[in-house]
Amino acid sequence: MTDRSPGQKPLLVTVLVFPGVRLLDVTGPIEVFATANEFGGRYRVRTVSSDGADVTTSAGTGLSVDLAAPDVSYVSDVVLVPGGPEWPSLIKDDALLSAVQALDARSRLTASVCTGAFLLAAAGLLDGRRATTHWRYTDQLALRYPRVTVDPDALFVRDGRMMTSAGVSSGIDLSLALVEEHLGVDVARAVAKDMVVFMQRPGGQSQFSVRTSSPHTRQDMLRRVLDAATEDPSADHTLSAMARRAGISTRHMTRLFREELGTTPARYVEQVRMEAAKAMLEGGDDPMASVARHSGFGSPESLRRAFARNLGITPGAYRARFRTTGATSGTGPMTDSSEPREPSDRLLSP
């Protein structure tokens, strides 16, 4: 199953741990990278603490540590900063914040899981960037660190060489995205199937938030057009309307979408409207006509066609997923197979 040539350079992942760290924040991502190695990956994971001492997690489980942060002399492909329930005191730990900064200085990409975002923010690494954290703490992240643009809906956010993820298990989603980036979609899919997790999970703090899956645009006028679409999906967002809003020709607008976002204006708007419709279906009992109208699809039939095209299910079936896990009736979303279903249209964070 493993196909690694001796000449392949390992991908170095450094995980910063500390007393009171949440266990799954650490082990979830490590398991993803270890499983990727069974499918041709080449990850080498090292655990680091600020002083090199072993730590005890918030669950009471001990974790061994490979070395102290000051002794890290190599460049990491990924530095992972997990969270913990005692994050308010952790962000005041100068030694821990110094370790975060030192590891980031020797990293190609720095990522956090759950409340680990507070450590990145306290270390000044998220200033001027977009980020997310567990839904319960997004307001506090925004209040404590006003220079950080907090996205409360995303499962994870990629902004340049920084990634932040939402609640605990989202570290698995983030790690799968990194495996896909490093090794390709086939390996990431194999890892997800082997771990019996969704490669892309429906609902919740969706990693397919259009706002986070679109790369940064260099064009301010295009950013204004994108923001207008996400702020009011039901407004007029035809190609001509968007071009008029930006003060450019339709041909120029089409070219900007292709060059900056790798998609078409119509496709982008449909994704925005899908996101709005899914949020309404997940969180309420609004009639389908109301969902269609407020999300911008206009009619229940248009809404149904869009869901069939993008997810392969009806809006009603999508809503039903969030009524119950199906654990007692045996009708959960993974009952059909030992492998998770994979919706058809995966968008990657940049």
Q: Which residues are catalytic?
A: 114
CA–CA separation, 114 vs 128, rounded Å? Answer: 19
Q: Which residues contact 66 (CB under 8 A, 6 or more apart)?
A: 46, 47, 48
Provide the strand spans (E) within the chain.
11-16, 43-49, 55-56, 62-63, 67-68, 78-81, 110-112, 130-131, 149-150, 156-159, 162-165
Kindly give the pairing relationship between strand 156-159 and strand 149-150.
unpaired
- The total number of residues written for the chain in this structure: 350
Q: Are 306 and 168 in contact (CB under 8 A)?
A: no
233 burial (CB, 10 Å; 0-12 / 13-18 / 19+) is buried
User: Rounded to a whole number, what is the distance in angstroms from the first to the last CA of the chain?
Assistant: 29
**Please, what is the angle between helix 220-231 and helix 239-246, to 10°?**
130
SS3 category, 337: coil
